[in-house]
């Protein structure tokens, strides 16, 4: 009986996309034994590459839109469309840190308005299910900009409309939802995130993430106070308590805003991708699962895609191996409950080399490692 292998790898960041990794592994397997049935299902965790992963794996399409960037400039961003009426959005493409030069990074000024414009575009073309990946943000505005783009109005104590950026949060006194996009009420929103920080406090959006977005210590304090005020006004005007919502602090509080204004469900990004790719039905039918990521380390076991794939495979007693750019954790360092998740964790790097050389040669290194592993796998199967 011929073997069937599922390849469900994440990207090697800065080197190969998830689609490329899975394709290279599949081709290498076929070179060893063309009779092996290989199923490919690229993975992501809600951050960079989520749109491409889902669109390419499900033969969807892209829509390019000109939207407002973090500092008010126009940028081009993509929406992925799968299944006819499901939109996939990466907030980083419209409101991401990579769009802001280092010398201009300032979460007091940056806005999520462009992310809201992408959501509006998806609603206008008839999408009634929207998946939003919220990694890599340049903002700490609680999602206020996103909501403004969808028709929500924010006022100060003198009934003046508020502008953009995190500095507006402390001024907020009233929220008017009466003009929100009419399609919001009959659309399902899911937020894909790989962090579970609360909105405020020492582990919240301002203290943990805004320094990397350009905030100094004084800004951090003001942003946190602003988010506290934001939470209070949302509770007063919308009747929603986001103060202790798990994941509310993701993307500078965008997680909180998406939940408060759109009723979005905040979920681990890996879970959303697994569901969207119908990975469970694929895993049931295979003899081996191959997954992986750019660098496997302790963070892998806190919800990264490799971990999610392995947990699903465990449900059906399917063996899992990982092929990674690098492996920075030994089996002895993995806690007992997770030690049996993977039958083997492999790196494509076999000898000391500089990172830039590994990145440059990643395609060949991955193919070579896969061929070695599959050759060994075939020997074990014969035994």
Predicted confidence pLDDT, tens digits, the chain (383 residues): 689 999 999 999 889 999 999 999 999 999 999 999 999 999 988 777 888 888 988 889 999 999 999 999 999 999 999 998 999 999 999 999 999 999 999 999 999 999 999 999 999 999 999 999 998 899 999 999 999 999 999 999 999 999 999 999 999 999 999 999 999 999 999 999 878 899 999 999 999 999 999 999 999 999 999 999 999 999 999 999 999 999 999 999 999 999 999 999 999 888 989 988 899 999 999 999 999 999 999 888 877 899 999 999 999 999 999 999 999 998 888 887 787 899 999 999 999 999 899 999 999 999 999 999 999 999 888 76
Judging by beta carbons within 10 Å of its beta carbon (0-12, 13-18, 19+), is residue 156 exposed, middle or buried? middle
Which pLDDT does position 54 carry in this prediction? 87
Which pLDDT does position 188 carry in this prediction? 97
70: tokens are 């973090």
Residues of the chain with CATH 3.90.1510.10: 50-270
**Residue 75, helix vs strand vs coil:** strand
Which pLDDT does position 229 carry in this prediction? 98
Q: How far apart are alpha carbons 112 and 70 in whole angstroms?
A: 6
Q: How far apart are alpha carbons 363 and 20 in whole angstroms?
A: 9
Q: Which fold has domain 4-43+290-346+362-382?
A: Rossmann fold (3.40.50)
352: tokens are 């000391």
91: tokens are 């907030």
Q: Edge-to-edge strands of the sheet including 74-82?
A: 61-68, 74-82, 86-90, 129-133, 188-193, 265-268
Which pLDDT does position 84 carry in this prediction? 86
Please give the model's pTM, rounded to 2 decimal places. Answer: 0.86
Rg of the chain over all Cα atoms, to the nearest angstrom:
22
CB-based contacts of 86, cutoff 8 Å, min separation 6 = 127, 129, 130, 131, 276
Pick the CATH number of 50-270 from 3.40.190.10, 3.65.10.10, 3.90.1510.10, 3.40.50.1220: 3.90.1510.10
């Amino acid at each position: 009986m011929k073997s069937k292998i599922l390849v469900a790898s994440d990207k090697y960041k800065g080197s190969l996309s998830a689609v490329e990794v899975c394709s290279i592994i599949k081709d290498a397997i076929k070179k060893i034994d063309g009779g092996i049935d290989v199923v490919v299902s690229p993975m992501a965790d809600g951050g960079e590459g989520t749109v491409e992963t889902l669109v390419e794996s499900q033969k969807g399409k892209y829509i390019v839109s000109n939207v407002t960037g973090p500092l008010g400039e126009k940028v081009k961003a993509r929406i992925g469309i799968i299944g006819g009426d499901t939109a996939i959005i990466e907030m980083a493409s419209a409101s991401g840190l990579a769009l802001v030069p280092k010398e201009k990074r300032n979460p007091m000024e940056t806005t999520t308005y462009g992310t809201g414009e992408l959501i509006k575009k998806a609603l206008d073309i008839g999408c009634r299910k929207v998946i939003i990946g919220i990694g890599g943000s340049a903002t700490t505005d609680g999602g206020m900009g996103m909501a403004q783009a969808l028709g929500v109005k924010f006022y100060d104590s003198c009934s003046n409309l508020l502008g953009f950026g995190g500095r507006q949060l402390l001024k907020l006194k009233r929220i008017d939802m009466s003009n929100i996009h009419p399609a919001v009420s009959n659309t399902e929103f899911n937020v894909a995130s790989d962090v579970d920080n609360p909105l405020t406090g020492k582990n919240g959006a301002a203290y943990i993430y805004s320094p990397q977005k350009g905030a100094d210590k004084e800004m951090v304090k003001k942003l946190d106070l602003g988010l506290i005020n934001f939470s209070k006004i949302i509770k007063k005007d919308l009747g929603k308590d986001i103060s202790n919502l798990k994941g509310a602090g993701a993307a500078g509080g965008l997680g909180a805003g998406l939940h408060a204004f759109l009723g979005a469900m905040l979920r681990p990004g890996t879970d959303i991708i697994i569901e969207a790719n119908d990975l469970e039905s694929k895993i049931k039918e295979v003899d081996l699962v191959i997954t992986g990521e750019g660098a496997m380390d302790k963070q892998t076991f806190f919800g990264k895609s490799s971990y999610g794939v392995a947990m699903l495979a465990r449900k059906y007693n399917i063996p899992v191996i990982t092929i990674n750019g690098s492996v920075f954790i030994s089996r002895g360092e993995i806690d007992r409950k997770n030690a049996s998740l993977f039958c083997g964790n492999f790196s494509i790097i076999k000898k000391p080399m500089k990172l830039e050389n590994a990145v440059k040669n990643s395609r060949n290194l991955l193919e070579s490692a896969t061929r070695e592993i599959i050759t060994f796998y075939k020997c074990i199967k014969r035994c």
